[in-house]
Amino acid sequence: MKIIFFGATGMIGQGALRECLADPSVEIVLAVGRSPLAQDHPKLQMLVVSDLYNVAAYENQMAGYDLCFFSLGSSSVGRKEPEYRRINFDLPVAAAQALARINPQMTFIYISGAGTDSTEKGRSMWARVKGQTENAILRLPFKAAYMFRIGAVLPMHGVKSKTAWYNTLYTIGAPLFFLLRKLFPRHILSTEQLGHAVLAAARHGAPKSILESPDIYRLLH
Between CA 161 and CA 10 the distance in angstroms is 6
pLDDT value of residue 143 = 97
* 101 membership: H or E segment, kind and range: helix 91-102
CATH for 2-218 is: 3.40.50.720
pLDDT value of residue 167 = 55
Which residue type does 19 have?
Answer: E
- Whole-Å CA distances, 93 to 86, 89, 192, 198: 10, 6, 26, 19
- Domain spans of the chain, in order of start: 2-218
Angle of helix 125-138 relative to helix 91-102, nearest 10 degrees, comes to: 10
pLDDT value of residue 52 = 93
Task: Please choose, from the candidates 142, 73, 123, 170, the residue with its C-alpha nearest in 3D space to the C-alpha of residue 178.
Answer: 170
Which residue type does 212 have?
Answer: E
Mean pLDDT of successive 10-residue segments in the chain (221 residues)?
A: 95 94 97 92 96 92 97 88 95 97 97 96 95 98 97 78 58 68 83 96 97 96 87
Angle of helix 11-22 relative to helix 191-204, nearest 10 degrees, comes to: 60
pTM: 0.91
pLDDT value of residue 195 = 96
Q: Please, are residues 84 and 76 in contact by the beta-carbon 8 Å criterion?
A: yes
Task: Please choose, from the candidates 123, 147, 143, the residue with its C-alpha nearest in 3D space to the C-alpha of residue 134.
Answer: 147
Planar angle of CA 210, 16, 41, nearest 5 degrees: 150
